[in-house]
Amino acid sequence: MAAVEVRPATAAAGRRAWLVVTEQELRDLWLAGRGLPLLFAYTVLLSVTSYLVAANQALNFLEQREAVSLTLQIAVAVGVLLVLLVAADAVSGERERGTLESLLLTPVPRRVLIVGKGVAAMSLWVAAWAVSIPYIWYLGRGVGAVRVAVVSGLVVGSLLALFLAAYGLIVSTLVRSNRLSLSVSLFALLALYAPTQMPTAVQTSWIGDLLVRADPIAAGLRYLGRLIVNAHTPGQDAGWLVGPVVAAVAAAAVALAVGGQLTLRSGERS
């Protein structure tokens, strides 16, 4: 039999695949999806929190810094939670909606799909951070804490958002059910918040200190607190950022590795 004529594949003359995927994911999230409703809920939470904080009539200097710190930590903690919610739905949601196979049938590398979904999830953190700036400005303008709060919040929040986006994608890729993916992701997040609720005596013990430092969420929030409330310099407590940095980098690497093996499962509908 003569060899079949191999027509040249469609020329890759368009935009890079990751850009196409990212743009589509962003459109799906913000124009047709849950992005704006989640952001609305987030702003309501910040509004309530900041109003209650500002309503404290006996606010002295230190308490105002604590008010800024409280609002900032809520902004970061809830902002990265939104990232996790979106990332945990990214792949398992496609499986359940039956749209995953169409994506897998394209010549786009699996990792590119994961990157596009990760960027879309992290866009929620960027929006949350931007929306939190007016609140931080209002509460912190009298005590010179605005710039440090905004910048440190961006740095710490971005590290935590990257960590949780990657973690959510890992779970979403490995788990078949969307409900299970969300459950596992939220449970892990609650576990990461737990060390922040330990009694002070435990936190200051060596084991408590180790736990807090190893927990990227707890370490990141502790760093913010020291920066704002204790007026430490950014470099003074930089050791607290080791946990978030390591967690973010490691999780991102694992997410890319796992995402590269993305496939349909046996018996799975398209």
- Report the site for other proteins in 49-68 (rule: CB under 8 A): 50-51, 53-55, 59-62, 64-65, 67
Q: What is the footprint of other proteins within residues 136-195 (CB under 8 A)?
A: 138-139, 141-144
Residue 86 to residue 120: CA distance in whole angstroms: 8
Q: Give whichever of 205 and 263 is closer to other proteins, judged by the CB atom.
A: 263
Residue 46 to residue 71: CA distance in whole angstroms: 7
Q: Give whichever of 44 and 242 is closer to other proteins, judged by the CB atom.
A: 44
Q: Give whichever of 54 and 246 is closer to other proteins, judged by the CB atom.
A: 54
Q: Nearest distance from residue 154's CB to other proteins, in Å? A: 18
Q: Is 239 in the site for other proteins (CB under 8 A)?
A: no
Q: Nearest distance from residue 38's CB to other proteins, in Å? A: 10
Q: Is 201 in the site for other proteins (CB under 8 A)?
A: no
Number of residues that bind other proteins (CB under 8 A): 75
Residue 194 to residue 204: CA distance in whole angstroms: 15
Q: Is 33 in the site for other proteins (CB under 8 A)?
A: yes
Candidate list 97, 179, 239, 253; residue touching other proteins; CB under 8 A: 97
Q: Is 24 in the site for other proteins (CB under 8 A)?
A: yes
